[in-house]
Amino acid sequence: MKRQAQAVVLFLIGGTVIRASFTDLYLRYVKAGLRPFLLVAGVVLITAAVATVWYEVRRPREGAANRSASEHGDSGGHTHHEPRIAWFLALPVLALILVAPPPPGSYSAGRTGTALQRPPGFPTLPAGDPLRLSVLDYAGRAVFDHGRSLDDRKIKLTGFITLGDSGAPYLSRMSLNCCAADAQPVKVGLSGRVPPTLQPDAWLEITGTYSKKKAKDPVNDGAIPFIDVSRARPVKAPHNQYEN
């Protein structure tokens, strides 16, 4: 692949990364805190592309002539072309522009054990009811703090439905350490006034209270806490479907 073509590919990749960083698209791949690093990476790629073009334009004519001679050869008048397969390097760029993969959903969550781990601490929760918590925060407090900070509080959680092997519904969110490749689910079981028909990947906002009930994830025996549901309503998937 010629240097000019390399510059085009670099420019496309850099522009795509910057475009994704200024929309919600980047949240399909990495957690929100990595946006500045994506912007820097995009700027570096575009700068490299511009520098490559500038270098090619500024090269002495004799250097260009020597390069042309090496490309075309001097025997038999035959032309030696670069392998066209090199242009397949542009396919990932086109895929990123045209097709954005959906975040992992119930299929991945149902086949992966809960990633719940003991947090370093439990900050004091704000006053007021209902209290909106992340699925990860609620699950951590329910399992490792035994619900002490959740008693006598109305709680709101938002997540997507995952069905266990027995058809039991879980409210799930995918948790990220860095990027979508390491996404793992955190699950909360539902008891109380659970809607009779729940579809996998449907997003719900749950209002309820802490439940002492717990179960084991059949995939990795991890702890799955429950919430006693008093109200459930369907909602649209949030822009950022991951929790950190």
Residues 48 and 158 in one domain: no
Q: Domain range holding 16?
A: 3-98
Residues 124 and 161 in one domain: yes
- Give the tens place of pLDDT for each residue, 164-184: 878 889 999 988 777 766 778
Residues 161 and 83 in one domain: no
Q: Give φ, ψ of 132 to 5 degrees.
A: -85, 125
Q: What is the pTM of this model?
A: 0.68
Given 56, 77, 98, the domain boundary residue is: 98
Identify the H or E element spanning 56: helix 35-58
Residues 171 and 228 in one domain: yes
Residues 115 and 171 in one domain: yes
What pLDDT, on the 0 to 100 scale, is given for residue 45?
Answer: 85
- Give the tens place of pLDDT for each residue, 6-56: 777 777 778 778 877 787 777 667 777 777 888 888 888 888 888 887 887
Residues 93 and 124 in one domain: no
Residues 112 and 195 in one domain: yes
Please report, to the nearest 10 degrees, the dihedral formed by the alpha carbons of residues 49, 51, 53, 55 taken in order.
Answer: -150
Radius of gyration of the chain (CA): 26
Given 98, 123, 144, the domain boundary residue is: 98
Given 98, 119, 152, the domain boundary residue is: 98
Residues 93 and 110 in one domain: no
What pLDDT, on the 0 to 100 scale, is given for residue 193?
Answer: 93
Neighbours of 54 (CB within 10 A): 11
Residues 70 and 156 in one domain: no
How large a percentage of the chain has pLDDT more than 70? 79
Residues 27 and 134 in one domain: no
What confidence category does residue 209 fall into, taking pLDDT thresholds of 50, 70 and 90? Answer: very high
What pLDDT, on the 0 to 100 scale, is given for residue 73?
Answer: 52
CATH number at residue 178: 2.40.50.140
Query: Which residues fall within 8 angstroms of residue 78, CB to CB, at 6 or more apart?
Result: 72
Tell whether omega for the bond before 218 is within 30 degrees of 0, i.e. cis. Answer: no
229: β partners = 192, 208
Structure tokens that stand for 95 in this block:
């895929």
When divided into structural domains, the chain yields a total of 2
**185 burial level (CB within 10 Å; 0-12, 13-18, 19+):** buried
Residues 110 and 230 in one domain: yes
What pLDDT, on the 0 to 100 scale, is given for residue 215?
Answer: 93
Residues 93 and 10 in one domain: yes
Q: Name the least confident of 58-67, 105-114, 220-229.
A: 58-67
Q: Give the residue from 10, 105, 96, 24 showing the smallest Cα distance to 53.
A: 10
